[in-house]
Structure 1
Amino acid sequence: MQKLSRRQRERQTREAEIIMAAEKIFYQKGYDDASMDEIAKEAEFTKKTLYQYFINKEDLYFAVACKGYQTVFDYLLAAVQQENNGFEQIRRFIFAYYQFYMDFPHTFRLLKFCPFIKKDGEENAHCRKAEEIKASMVQFLVETIEKGKKDGSIRKDLGSKLSAYSMIYFTIGFFYRLSEFGPSFHNDPVLIQEEFIRFALELLSNTLAPVKAGTG
């Protein structure tokens, strides 16, 4: 690996500091209400300096989103290493997202803005990178489902890509809903949130399992 020059290292450090400051402001204010002035103040740089590193607020948000998506993906990849067959890896993947939701609530909230960001003109490099990371997660799930079909732990009649997208949408949507309303969303004092979450995720993952003879 080529050694970075001092100027390159300084640029990387400044960029990381700006992203960290933006992450804090976006979390506190939301995307629409956050301003480049506030981010510059938090980072202790001038606004002019911010524009030397990022085209606009949208570009800076997607730089923050890239960091968040990579955190999610690394978290999920680490979890599946503990299992061998495809079904158990998918199950670990789903439950690892639950753990991410619990461990990184600020990052989870920031990523919720992503589908609603109005893009100005052509997609910038950070936006493309965020999409690439998301596509890598989908592809990983597709390959894991294919693996499960081959080892017999996942139903062979399911479309791998359709199943992968369904797993992602159901899981993320479930936690988005939960984050909005919290423990009060079900209005049932008997229903314990953690038990409900675990039951729901087990129910979701079990849709991939082969149907046993005599239970269909």
Structure 2
Amino acid sequence: MSIQDRREREKEQRRNDILKAAEKLFLSREYDNVSMNDIAREVELSKATIYLYFENKEELFFAIVLQGTEILNSMIRNAVKKAKTGIDKVSKFRMAYHEFNRDYADYIRIYNYFQSRRFELAYNTPDTSRERSKSLSGGEKSSGTSEYLKKIHGLRGERFSIMCNSVQEGIGDGTIRPDVNPAEAAVLLSSISKSMSDIPPDHEKLLEKQGIDREKFVLDVEDLIRHMIMSYHP
């Protein structure tokens, strides 16, 4: 192995160590309760070294959100691939989302925070981006230029496309009503999935009094959605 290759490997390992330390802290604390000093102590590196790999705390947070998003999209792709009809693909998509909610609750928590108004997440046009960069003091880079952010948005767009295509396929194979608008259905189902990842405690208690736990509630909602969009004359 050449010296250059060894240095590249060491650099990649250090970056992964920083990500691992940041992930541990972001998944166990609120965003504002994690500092770059905390991450530096956790990974046992100087803060200056961390800045060689990540511009700021926001970038590190986006990198962790991206890791969770990649897991979610992988689960959805694998699940949808196993379904044969459009309506079954819609169901597989939603159940994969539920399994992610259940198995990766901490990632869901930070993703919901990521989607809050705490960050500027919208894509900018090139002209807008240039104008925005002029207005930023001290050379600070807009979060809209973050490579991590762009990848997260790309994966979000992929999920939307998978759902739209599944609905469209269902309309084509006769398992979903022809009057269902794929984009409208995708937005609605995405909103439902998001809200079900954060059911208020009083609502959970209300369901428990009816003998309905979270798993049963998810299945009941899935059955309801299926009947909302299914074709009665396949």
TM-score range relative to shorter protein: 0.7 to 0.9
Change (3 A) 1:212 1:13: same
Change (3 A) 1:46 1:167: same
**Runs (5+) with no aligned partner, structure 2:** 121-140
Change (3 A) 1:19 1:142: same
Q: CA deviation at 1:122?
A: 4.2
Partner of 2:119: 118
Partner of 2:47: 47
Contact 1:22–1:39 (CA<8 Å) still a contact in 2? yes
Q: Residue 198 of structure 1 aligns to a residue in which SS?
A: helix
Change (3 A) 1:90 1:46: same
Provide Cα deviations, 1:8-44, integer angstroms capped at 9, x if missing partner.
3333322222122111111222112211111111122
TM-score of the superposed pair, with normalisation by structure 2: 0.81
Q: CA deviation at 1:183?
A: 7.7
Change (3 A) 1:202 1:9: farther
CA distance in 1, matches of 2:196, 2:44: 38
Contact 2:170–2:176 (CA<8 Å) still a contact in 1? yes
Aligned partner of 2:211 among 191, 194, 206: 191
Partner of 2:177: 155
Q: CA deviation at 1:176?
A: 1.8
Contact 1:27–1:106 (CA<8 Å) still a contact in 2? yes
CA distance in 2, matches of 1:202, 1:13: 46
Give me the identity figure in percent.
25
TM-score of the superposed pair, with normalisation by structure 1: 0.87
Which is greater in Rg?
Answer: 2
CA distance in 1, matches of 2:207, 2:177: 36
The aligned amino acid for 1:56 is N
Change (3 A) 1:182 1:111: farther
Query: CA RMSD, aligned part only?
Result: 2.2
**Runs (5+) with no aligned partner, structure 1:** none
Pair 1:203-2:224 in alignment? yes
Aligned residue-pair number: 208
